[in-house]
Structure 1
């Protein structure tokens, strides 16, 4: 379960004079969304729950909320991201109710293999315990670095599936606290340093280097598979936090300069099944970088990232993960539960 500050949400909605809201949530927080909707309706606010799949703070349903006649959107489970939004949006991080220190203590011998100077990162769900984790590690002789990251993240030490800027510090290795392989694999692929993932729920510790190497080998295979491709579909997403139109246009221009046929395609949900009718030899995804990396087996034709296109064209020979970057942060202050209205 997760902590959802319902009283604070209600207070902010009343400040907005909101009478109808849309609640958007990832899969793991559907039950919390339902409880929140009940709470809001008990307090006089009509609540609608979005049934669509949500991929992160990069994918707010503010347009859908406006169409539904809502006065505000509650984006549950993710931290604030600076986007051009159509209605006031409350980003509500949901913090996990699990103590991360016991799992760290259980795996202290494995953590020592990272070296003395380590970078510490986690996801939104555990960010509220990062300082406790740092204090415990420093008490065990480690020098712990928590990177500030760029404007795409809300807190120092936070990583997203598309942005690992907080892990790019001068450390011997990286300790990731959280569940699953999704985030720590991206960390390992990006920083190219020993990366250990400690799961605070199970207590397991997994080295991610081998998983990262396996994925990178598969990416080189995708590049090789596209070596004879002449016709490229360059895909940009219309999701607000994934829209990289200038980069997509650059890819089209670059491919054409190298004698390739290239067309720009815009999609909301990027998936191969919707592309079956097109006559392309390969695709370039200039949206969420995890689509080509994690979902390539669902694509019948080669699917590349912008960096992989540059490798294909002979402009680079070293593999780099395709992050979506922000600008350098100017403050250490966490944004927490925050309100972002329309940008004009």
Structure 2
């Protein structure tokens, strides 16, 4: 279960004089979206539930909201991301209702293997307990660093699947709090330091070094498969938070300068079956880094990230995880626009 600030949503919608809204949610928060819809409808607001797939704050349904005549979009489950949006958009984080301290207490011996000075990171679902975790660990003798990150993240200590800037601090190792492998795996690849992931739901702890090495080996295999490719489709995403047109043009120029053919392509939902009719020998995805990494087994032809193309062309030797960077955050810059709290 998650805490969702229904009362704050209603108050914000009234300030916007919104009469019709679209609610967008990831699959894991569909029930919460329904509950918010019923609550808002009881207050006289017309609600449309967005049923499409949602990939994160980088993928707001503001265009659809405008097309449907909505006065606002409620983007549920993700933190604020600075984007040029077509309708007022309320980013509503959904905080997990699970305590993190018991899992930390259980795994203190493993945490101590990181060293005394550790970086602490998590996802939006657990960000509300990061300071509590910091105080607990400092009480056990650790020096805990929570990095600010760049402008792409909303809170200090937050990591995204495409941005690990808050983990890049002066520390001996990194402690990630949350479920799943992808975020701590990205952290391990981005910082190249010991990374321990603790799951607050199960209480389990996982070291990420072996997983990171296994992933890198698979990515080197993809690079090797693309070595003899003569033509590349370089794909950009039309999702607002993933559009990296200048980076795609840079990759196209590098490929052409090396004597290879390259064409720019644009897609919303990037997947291999939709590309079957093209004759390219390989593809480069200049969008969410998870697409070529999570789904590569579903691609019949090699699929690379921009950094992997640089390795292919001999411009880079060491493997580097692809990230979408923000700008450097100023000390007086607001952390983000998001609702906090829960209940009605």
Cα deviation, residue 337, structure 1: 1.8
Shift of 1:178: 0.3
1:335 corresponds in structure 2 to: 336
Please name the residue that 2:72 is paired with: 72
Within 5 Å, give how 1:103-252 maps onto structure 2: 103-252=103-252
Residue pair 2:23, 2:75 contacting (<8 A) in 1 also: yes
How far 1:182 sits from its partner (Å)?
1.6
Partner SS, residue 126 of structure 1:
helix
Instruction: Determine whether 1:96 maps to 2:96.
Output: yes
Deviation at 1:331, TM superposition (A): 3.4
Do the aligned residues in 1 keep the contact of 2:24 with 2:76 (CA within 8 Å)? Answer: yes
Distance 2:298 2:102 in 1: 38
- Whether the aligned pair in 2 keeps the contact of 1:231 and 1:281 (CA below 8 Å) is yes
Structure 1 stretches of 5 or more lacking a match? Answer: 340-344
**SS in structure 2 of the partner of residue 284 of structure 1:** strand
Q: Name the CA distance, whole Å, in 2 between partners of 1:35 and 1:173.
A: 40
Alignment partners' CA distance in 2, 1:336 and 1:61: 17
Cα separation, 2, equivalents of 1:114 and 1:271? 38
Structure-2 residue corresponding to 1:342: none
Q: Give the structure 1 partner of residue 263 of structure 2.
A: 263
Q: Distance in 1 between matches of 2:21 and 2:175?
A: 38
Q: CA deviation at 1:336?
A: 5.2
The answer to whether the 8 A contact 1:285-1:306 is kept is yes
The aligned runs of 1:236-315 (5 Å cut-off) are 236-315=236-315
Q: Supply the distance in 2 between the matched residues of 1:314 and 1:179 (Cα, whole angstroms).
A: 36
Structure 1 residue 189, shift from structure 2 partner: 1.2
Q: Cα deviations across residues 54-111 of structure 1 (Å, max 9, x unaligned)? A: 0000000000011111000000000000001000000001111111011001100000
How far residue 10 of structure 1 moved from its aligned partner, in angstroms, is: 0.2
Provide the secondary structure at the position in 1 that maps to 2:156.
Answer: coil
Give the aligned length: 339
Q: Look up the match of 1:9.
A: 9
Q: Distance in 1 between matches of 2:139 and 2:50?
A: 45
Note if contact 1:163-1:325 (Cα within 8 Å) is conserved in structure 2. yes
SS in 2 for 1:250: helix
TM-score, with structure 1 as normaliser: 0.97
Please give the alpha-carbon distance, in whole angstroms, between the structure 2 residues aligned to 1:204 and 1:190. 23
1:175 partner SS = strand
| RMSD, aligned CA | 1.1
Offset at residue 259 of structure 1 (A): 0.3
Rounded to whole Å, the distance in 1 between the matches of 2:101 and 2:275 is 46
Query: 1:338 offset after TM fit, Å?
Result: 5.4
**8 A Cα contact 1:92 1:336, kept in partner:** no
Q: Secondary structure at the match of 2:73?
A: strand
Distance of 1:330 and 1:124 partners within structure 2: 21
Cross-structure match for 1:35? 35
TM-score, length of structure 2 as denominator length: 0.97
Q: Distance in 2 between matches of 1:263 and 1:334?
A: 38
Alpha-carbon distance, 1:253 to partner: 1.1
